[in-house]
Amino acid sequence: MNVPVQYKIAGRSASEIAASIEAGVREGRLAAGAPLPTVRELARRLRVSPTTVAAAYQRLRLRGLVAGQGRRGTRVTHRPPLPARSATAALAPRLRNLADGNPDPALLPPVPALARERRPRLYGEQSHLPELVTLARAQLDDDGIGGEIVIVSGGLDGIERILQAHLGPGDRIAVEDPGFTGVMDLVSALGLSAEPVAVDDRGIVPAALVRALDRGARAVVVTPRAQNPTGAAVDTERARELRAVLDRRPRALVIEDDHAGPVAGTPAISLCPRPRHWAVVRSVSKSLGPDLRLAVVAGDAETVSRVEGRQRLGQGWVSHVLQRAVVALWREPRMAERLAAAASRYSERREALLGALERRGIAAQGRSGLNVWVPVAEEAAIVGALAERGWAVRAGEPYRIRTSPAVRITVSTLKPRESDRLAADLADCIRPTAPGSATR
């Protein structure tokens, strides 16, 4: 092991040693995947007991910074939960932003004025506005999803609380590959072990889910529609196949991340409810706006009780100001029509790009949601070449574990008339014309 040579780990106590390693990760001197010295080796170098080093490593494991990998020893995790040293730079103003994954601001409803809150809310009052729960209950019932309800501060907040309610550091969890970076980073931060599950146009592949569960995954996070980054959407046949897999493993926790909700462009087809532990997390971020920071979680009584109990120990409740804003938006007379129109607009933009790519022989995915996923040979080269032509897209690497390279293109603001030019530019980047060759 040459880690102490490349980055000098220091400290006399477990907390000092752990802080030294964390600083190395945060500052980029210990890269993702870097091996750490064995417990005995580091103890000898630092002249402390092996117990002290083992305790330091355990602290880092519990925070998801390092992971034990059997004969490969202890290594920095590939997604350590720390701010990256080289944060993503702001896009140049000249670039057409198709990289951020945001909804189109023009298709979001205006948020009601906060001054409309009737009176100050105080400690000891109901955490959830009854009218919000009633409206959420009606929507979920329409989609065949029962269970208890808890209101949380956004989709990832709900997923984190559900995972903490049932899993602990070291537990295995099946995640989509490619999948949402937020979920992957959260899994790492909680010290969980990710089992990648392949995704096609119809969501997670049943055979891949079987393999992950057979390898000991105790839970699975599924995006039923508008899957990020591929746009996959579960249909009735795939849902039936996945339920058959899960029915043979009734103890597995199933979490559905329905982040796009009514603007996904496809119906809600759920794998829940389940015999034991399950949860559906439905955020308003894509339909009403990311700044509302609110999601509804439906689940079995035990899961919802644990989530709500843990919430009370922290933030207590989701701001009633935000809850009332969502109630006001959902009650607007033409809100259903507005959301349906937004879903139609996103579908139009997505299909326009898919069609333009297909005409140029470029394979791509995007059955629903705000993104199109385009397999490429070299991500960085394509991202750079498109930037030279005025387009900003995302490299697929942060979304992948084992799947092949690709780029993600957010179509939420992409006008259909722009699709042909983007597709032509992408075709040129993928198959550049040789210097001096004739063109037709």
State yes or no: pLDDT of 86 exceeds 50.
no
Instruction: Classify residue 258 as exposed, middle or buried by CB count within 10 Å of its CB (0-12, 13-18, 19+).
Output: buried
pLDDT at 124: 76
327/343 same-domain check = no
Quick one: average pLDDT of 79-103?
78
State the pLDDT confidence band at 92, using cuts at 50, 70 and 90. Answer: confident
SS3 content of the chain, % helix, strand, coil (to 5): 40, 15, 40
Question: How many other CB atoms sit within 10 Å of the CB of residue 279?
Answer: 30
**pLDDT more than 70, % of the chain:** 94
State yes or no: pLDDT of 137 exceeds 80.
yes
Quick one: average pLDDT of 96-101?
95
pLDDT at 169: 86
Most confident of 79-88, 112-121, 183-192: 183-192
- Phi/psi for 348 (5° steps) reads -60, -45
Establish if 300 belongs to a structural domain.
yes
208/59 same-domain check = no
149 - beta bridge partners?
298
How does strand 253-258 pair with strand 371-375?
A: unpaired
pLDDT at 146: 94
Kindly report the CATH number assigned to the domain that includes residue 8.
1.10.10.10
312/341 same-domain check = no
282 - beta bridge partners?
258, 296
Tokens of 382: 């394509």
State pLDDT tens for residues 363-415.
999 999 999 999 999 999 999 999 999 999 999 999 999 999 999 999 999 99
In the DSSP assignment, the letter for residue 219 is E
Establish if 435 belongs to a structural domain.
no
327/342 same-domain check = no
Q: Distance (Å, rounded) from C-alpha 223 to C-alpha 144?
A: 17
H or E, element range at 419: helix 416-430
State yes or no: pLDDT of 84 exceeds 90.
no
CB contact at 8 A, 158 and 285: no
Ranges of beta strands (E only) in 276-415 are 278-283, 295-299, 371-375, 391-392, 394-395, 406-410
With b meaning 16 or more CB within 10 Å and e meaning fewer, what string describes 91-104? eeeeebebbebbbb
258/134 same-domain check = yes
Number of domains composing the chain? 3
State pLDDT tens for residues 6-64.
578 999 999 999 999 999 988 888 988 899 999 999 999 999 999 999 999 999 988 88
**pLDDT more than 90, % of the chain:** 78
- What is the identity of the amino acid at 215? R
Quick one: average pLDDT of 328-354?
97
State yes or no: pLDDT of 85 exceeds 70.
no
Quick one: average pLDDT of 315-330?
94
pLDDT at 87: 44
Q: pTM above the 0.75 mark? A: yes
- Cis before residue 206, ω within 30 degrees of 0? no
- The string of DSSP codes covering 75-143 is EE-SS-SS--SSPPPPPPTTSEE--S-PPPGGGSPPPPPGGG--S---TTS-SS-HHHHHHHHHHHHHT
320/408 same-domain check = no
pLDDT at 5: 44
State yes or no: pLDDT of 265 exceeds 50.
yes
285/361 same-domain check = no
pLDDT at 80: 83
Tokens of 338: 């507005």
Give the range of the structural domain holding residue 38, as residue numbers without chain letter: 3-76
